[in-house]
A and B are shown apart, each in its own frame.
Chain A
Amino acid sequence: MWRKIVRTGRVAEPAPERPDGEVPEQAAELAGSVQIRHVDAGSCNGCEVEIASAFGPVYDAERYGARLVASPRHADALMVTGPVTRNMEMALRRTHDAVSEPRLVIALGDCARDCGVFAGAYGVAGAVRDVVDVDVEVPGCPPRPEAIVAALRGLTGR
């Protein structure tokens, strides 16, 4: 294992400059450490693949203070992907309710922002902002990992 570590070396991209812009008031209270619960409200899994690479060794979002957790009870923020389907509408509301305050909601990807190609489909209840209050939106179908990391750095301020 040691040989593997030495041979592979460092694969993480060099950290880009911190993006400009103010940290939202609620996020400032979190003091640079944001615990995130991911909710798939009806996504096609494209966004999930990009989230996985954003938290993988190359983009390594954790070095900026963002971390994925296993339960909304542990989380400061929800990261919602996909249009909100009818089956997931109540679950999303309850998950949002289960996060302690102050809480943030990130709508990730075009579907989460405005239902994308699924707009008007019979099983779709609406965009994320129609169900819960959204603080940050990340455009893209799917958004690139750099965009996800930049949005998260906007919350952690690091």
Chain B
Amino acid sequence: MNLVGTLYVTALAGCAVAALAALTAPARARLPLTGWCTAVAGAVGAAAGVAALSGGVSAGVSAGVSPGGPAGGSGPSWSAWLPDLLPLAGVRLAIDPLGGVFVAVTGLVTVCAAIYGIGYCAHGLDGRLFQAVLPLFVAALLLVPAAASVSTFLLTWELMAVTSLLLVLAEHRRRAEVGRAGLWYAVMTHLGLVAILAGLVAFAAGAAGESFAELRAAELPPGAATVVFLATAAGFASKAGIVPLHVWLPRAHPEAPSHVSALMSAAMVNLGAYGIIRVGLDLLGGGPAWWWLLVLAAGALSALYGILQAAVTSDLKRLLGYSTTENLGLVLVGVGAAGFFAVSDLPVPAALALAAALLHVVNHAAFKTVLFLSAGSVLHATGTRDLDALGGLRTRLPYTTAVFAVGALCASALPPGNAFVSEWLLLQSLIHALPGAGVAGAVTMPLAVGVIALSAGLAVATFVKAFGVGFLARPRSAEAEAARESPPPMLAAMTFAAVGCVVLALAPTLVVPALGRAVGVVFPGRDVVSGELTLRLAGVSGMISPLLIAAALVIAVVAVLGLVRLTAARRARRAARLWDCGAGPMSARMEYTATSFAEPLQRVFDDVLAPESDVDVTPMKESAYLVERVRFQARVPDRIEHRLYDPLIAAAAAVGNRARALATGSVHRYLGYGFWALTGALLVLVALW
């Protein structure tokens, strides 16, 4: 076994040890023991991913025979076939650089989430089951990108879904919404699983076998390939929270414990994008252009819809959940563009777009970990997620505020944040593809550029709102007033994640060449970028130096401050009272709330968001002109959920009610149903074969 394999197996073993420790350790030692075991497992897993990315060459085989072997010159860095572990198919694992990216991201997010959990779980979440399921979830997250056959992939995918569902439901005794969110999540994730299962099984039926190497070599007829692609893409899109399959995400993310939200939002949803890259680009090897235009359109729609909903919501974690939809949408814009360029015979922009998508996956994981962990710290300190009831946390939670500020800057795609770099790369690939992309490209690419620009602008407004309303000014509730800083493990984990963000923002040159190797799995034979201090695009003109941009910003800020100080010192200064409209004293009711800050945006996008408002006037008994009470209610419902899912659920309930007549309680009837169903199935089989 080579280095990648050793590290990877150690990480999985670490997860198992953590789960065992959670089950057996005494209550006092349980949290630190499980937390540190999981964190170490995550760190080792991240090391395995990084080792796979840094260009491991040899293919080590642990047990059995490795069929297929390296395909296209960029074969797996490590692979294993364990035929006896599972009946019929066995377990087939392989880590290539593409899977390595996702293993590394998952590992690093796990380190933060596990250490954070030691402090966060101390009140009420330290039960055996919850603590044991978390390492299993991490193991499933590490296994999915390493699965190398259909059965292994589906099994690990389902393990991931079930463990994450258990984690989402952790606090179901405290709040009724948790149960509802869990129900939505369970249904959506299993519908997605059914779609993926159908697609991959059809794929395996058309190929010589079910290992990914055999699928890669298979030549499917175009019709079958389209069915496989559409089914799997729908399933993966539902995991990635892509519109219109996103409805579970803004429910499950807020209701899960915060470090689980971080793991789900920064590590799990990425695997939806991984699935589309792996199946669509790698295993199916491209396909017609309209597949990728569809992916691009779904991504663009999600980016816009997600950030619009995030901009108008006032629940902090729901806002972050919608922002996940936006960022995964941007990733899919990159993936769709990469597939489209590859079909249109534009290899350079294709590789660049895929690298941009992968870089955005990494960047999004970094800043979303920071944001969810600090949102959890706020929740821990105040007990509320409602931005309208927060405020004034800057003096009470200084560390959390600083960390959230770093995350918010990175999430708003402005320099010197890290999302700026990946969105810049994405824009470069779209712009440089224009000359050769044909009519479809000439129509879609400018639109995609517009969508990215608009979503970046709305993201700025969203995170200005989240940070300004949530953390600055004065507290708007007694809970916010009494907030106390979180315990050291939580602060340490948040700081670690924030440092990761800063490193990614200042030195993307450390990461992008490695991502180029991951791109090489799909589009072999090209370097995407070069340069140590400056990112230089290979093949097209374009470069960016985030470090120099940051330095220039710092110099400019210092110069402006110095200049102001110099000129202000010459003039006489007068201390004046803070302007309070002459009435005073200032109160928290004078501040902007999240709702009022988002109101202009809501007005601009009125036709898209369709907000509901309700005025209820109760007159006095004596006269209709005297008012006893006026109640005003405003809500921005998720319109897609309203229009698409509510009728579906109502129809399903109606069918269920009608079907009641069939179940009368008579055993004879039920036996008759079984007989007729079996005969029908046999008749169909006879007729088809």
Interfacial chain B residues near A29, Cβ < 8 Å: none
Question: What is the bound-complex CA distance between A81 and B583, given in angstroms?
Answer: 18
Using a CB-CB cutoff of 8 Å, which residues 576-593 of chain B contact chain A?
576-577, 579-584
**What mask results when residues 60 to 102 of chain A are scored 1 for a CB within 8 Å of chain B, else 0?**
0000000000011100000000000000001110110110010
Cβ-based interface call for B668 (8 A): no
Smallest Cβ-Cβ distance to B583: which chain A residue: A91
Interfacial chain B residues near A95, Cβ < 8 Å: 582
A98 touches B574 (CB 8 A): no
Point out the residue from B576, B580, B582 that lies within 8 Å of A92, measured CB to CB.
Answer: B582
B582 touches A91 (CB 8 A): yes
Q: How far is the CB of B515 from chain A (nearest CB, A)?
A: 50
A90 touches B579 (CB 8 A): no
Question: What is the bound-complex CA distance between A92 and B581, given in angstroms?
Answer: 10
Using a CB-CB cutoff of 8 Å, which residues 581-613 of chain B contact chain A?
581-584
Question: What is the bound-complex CA distance between A99 and B583, given in angstroms?
Answer: 15
Interfacial chain A residues near B576, Cβ < 8 Å: 97-98
Most buried by A among B574, B582, B583: B582
Interfacial chain B residues near A71, Cβ < 8 Å: 579
Smallest Cβ-Cβ distance to B574: which chain A residue: A101
A97 touches B583 (CB 8 A): no
A73 touches B582 (CB 8 A): no
Interfacial chain A residues near B574, Cβ < 8 Å: 101
Q: How far is the CB of A57 from chain B (nearest CB, A)?
A: 28
B579 touches A98 (CB 8 A): yes
Question: What is the bound-complex CA distance between A72 and B583, given in angstroms?
Answer: 13
**What mask results when residues 612 to 652 of chain B are scored 1 for a CB within 8 Å of chain A, else 0?**
00000000000000000000000000000000000000000
Question: What is the bound-complex CA distance between A94 and B585, given in angstroms?
Answer: 12
Question: What is the bound-complex CA distance between A94 and B576, given in angstroms?
Answer: 9
Interfacial chain B residues near A101, Cβ < 8 Å: 574
Interface of B is mostly: loop
Interfacial chain A residues near B583, Cβ < 8 Å: 91
Smallest Cβ-Cβ distance to A71: which chain B residue: B579
Interfacial chain A residues near B581, Cβ < 8 Å: 91
Question: What is the bound-complex CA distance between A94 and B579, given in angstroms?
Answer: 8
Smallest Cβ-Cβ distance to A88: which chain B residue: B582
Question: What is the bound-complex CA distance between A86 and B579, given in angstroms?
Answer: 20
B interface bracket (residues with beta carbon within 8 Å of A): under 10
Interfacial chain A residues near B577, Cβ < 8 Å: 94, 97-98
Q: How far is the CB of B167 from chain A (nearest CB, A)?
A: 50
Most buried by B among A73, A92, A98, A101: A98
Q: How far is the CB of A20 from chain B (nearest CB, A)?
A: 34
Using a CB-CB cutoff of 8 Å, which residues 547-600 of chain B contact chain A?
574, 576-577, 579-584
Interfacial chain B residues near A91, Cβ < 8 Å: 581-583
Question: What is the bound-complex CA distance between A136 and B286, given in angstroms?
Answer: 79
Question: What is the bound-complex CA distance between A94 and B583, given in angstroms?
Answer: 8
Q: How far is the CB of A73 from chain B (nearest CB, A)?
A: 6
Smallest Cβ-Cβ distance to B572: which chain A residue: A101
Interfacial chain A residues near B584, Cβ < 8 Å: 94
Q: How far is the CB of B565 from chain A (nearest CB, A)?
A: 19
Smallest Cβ-Cβ distance to B581: which chain A residue: A91
Question: What is the bound-complex CA distance between A90 and B581, given in angstroms?
Answer: 11
Q: How far is the CB of B431 from chain A (nearest CB, A)?
A: 38
Q: How far is the CB of A85 from chain B (nearest CB, A)?
A: 13
Interfacial chain A residues near B580, Cβ < 8 Å: 94
Using a CB-CB cutoff of 8 Å, which residues 87-141 of chain B contact chain A?
none
Question: What is the bound-complex CA distance between A94 and B580, given in angstroms?
Answer: 9
Q: How far is the CB of B555 from chain A (nearest CB, A)?
A: 30
Q: How far is the CB of B139 from chain A (nearest CB, A)?
A: 59
Smallest Cβ-Cβ distance to B582: which chain A residue: A91
Question: What is the bound-complex CA distance between A48 and B583, given in angstroms?
Answer: 21
Most buried by B among A71, A91, A94, A95: A94
Q: How far is the CB of A151 from chain B (nearest CB, A)?
A: 24
Interfacial chain B residues near A98, Cβ < 8 Å: 576-577, 579, 582
Question: What is the bound-complex CA distance between A71 and B578, given in angstroms?
Answer: 13
Question: What is the bound-complex CA distance between A101 and B583, given in angstroms?
Answer: 21
Q: How far is the CB of B554 from chain A (nearest CB, A)?
A: 30
Question: What is the bound-complex CA distance between A97 and B574, given in angstroms?
Answer: 10
Smallest Cβ-Cβ distance to B584: which chain A residue: A94
Smallest Cβ-Cβ distance to B580: which chain A residue: A94
Interfacial chain B residues near A90, Cβ < 8 Å: 582
Interfacial chain A residues near B582, Cβ < 8 Å: 90-92, 94-95, 98
Question: What is the bound-complex CA distance between A10 and B584, given in angstroms?
Answer: 45
Q: How far is the CB of B186 from chain A (nearest CB, A)?
A: 53
Interfacial chain B residues near A97, Cβ < 8 Å: 576-577
Smallest Cβ-Cβ distance to A73: which chain B residue: B579
Q: How far is the CB of A132 from chain B (nearest CB, A)?
A: 12
Question: What is the bound-complex CA distance between A68 and B582, given in angstroms?
Answer: 18
Q: How far is the CB of A78 from chain B (nearest CB, A)?
A: 11
Most buried by A among B577, B580, B581: B581
Q: How far is the CB of A71 from chain B (nearest CB, A)?
A: 7
Interfacial chain B residues near A94, Cβ < 8 Å: 577, 580, 582, 584
Question: What is the bound-complex CA distance between A98 and B579, given in angstroms?
Answer: 7
Q: How far is the CB of A75 from chain B (nearest CB, A)?
A: 11
Question: What is the bound-complex CA distance between A73 and B579, given in angstroms?
Answer: 8
Question: What is the bound-complex CA distance between A97 and B579, given in angstroms?
Answer: 9
Question: What is the bound-complex CA distance between A143 and B577, given in angstroms?
Answer: 33
Question: What is the bound-complex CA distance between A71 and B581, given in angstroms?
Answer: 8
Interfacial chain A residues near B579, Cβ < 8 Å: 71-73, 98
Question: What is the bound-complex CA distance between A98 and B581, given in angstroms?
Answer: 9
Q: How far is the CB of A98 from chain B (nearest CB, A)?
A: 5
Question: What is the bound-complex CA distance between A71 and B576, given in angstroms?
Answer: 15
Most buried by A among B576, B580, B584: B576
Question: What is the bound-complex CA distance between A73 and B577, given in angstroms?
Answer: 11
Q: How far is the CB of B470 from chain A (nearest CB, A)?
A: 26
Question: What is the bound-complex CA distance between A101 and B584, given in angstroms?
Answer: 22
Using a CB-CB cutoff of 8 Å, which residues 81-135 of chain A contact chain B?
90-92, 94-95, 97-98, 101
Smallest Cβ-Cβ distance to A72: which chain B residue: B579
Question: What is the bound-complex CA distance between A92 and B584, given in angstroms?
Answer: 12
Smallest Cβ-Cβ distance to A90: which chain B residue: B582
Smallest Cβ-Cβ distance to A94: which chain B residue: B582
Interfacial chain B residues near A73, Cβ < 8 Å: 579
Question: What is the bound-complex CA distance between A60 and B583, given in angstroms?
Answer: 32
Q: How far is the CB of B572 from chain A (nearest CB, A)?
A: 9
Question: What is the bound-complex CA distance between A91 and B581, given in angstroms?
Answer: 8
Q: How far is the CB of A82 from chain B (nearest CB, A)?
A: 15
Q: How far is the CB of A97 from chain B (nearest CB, A)?
A: 6
Can you sample 20 A-B contacts with CB below 8 Å? A71-B579, A72-B579, A73-B579, A90-B582, A91-B581, A91-B582, A91-B583, A92-B582, A94-B577, A94-B580, A94-B582, A94-B584, A95-B582, A97-B576, A97-B577, A98-B576, A98-B577, A98-B579, A98-B582, A101-B574
The 6 A-B residue pairs with the shortest CB-CB distance in the complex, in nearest-first order: A91-B582, A94-B582, A95-B582, A98-B579, A73-B579, A97-B576
Additional pairs, 10, CB under 8 Å, beyond known A94-B580, A94-B582: A73-B579, A90-B582, A91-B582, A91-B583, A94-B577, A97-B576, A98-B576, A98-B577, A98-B582, A101-B574
B contact set with A: CB distance below 8 Å = 574, 576-577, 579-584
